[in-house]
Amino acid sequence: MQLTINGEARDIPQLDTVFALASWLQLPSFGSAIELNGKVIKKSDHRTTSIKDGDRLEIVRLVGGG
């Protein structure tokens, strides 16, 4: 399956949900936001939101410091 993640085309295994993708990418369970095809996906919807070949995602990780 091919997805565009943060503007970069990526070949990834066949995954079915935003949650599965986040797990595969090893995103931390806290401090990440995911947008799918222009829509921010609430964390509570990650397990039920499907992804398909050709989708575009933007993933933002919060960084702390000072």
- DSSP letter string, the chain: -EEEETTEEEE-----BHHHHHHHTT--SSSEEEEETTEEEPGGGTTT-B--TT-EEEEEE-----
This prediction's pTM: 0.89
Mean pLDDT in consecutive groups of 10 residues from the start of the chain, 66 residues: 97 97 92 96 97 97 76
pLDDT of residue 66: 64
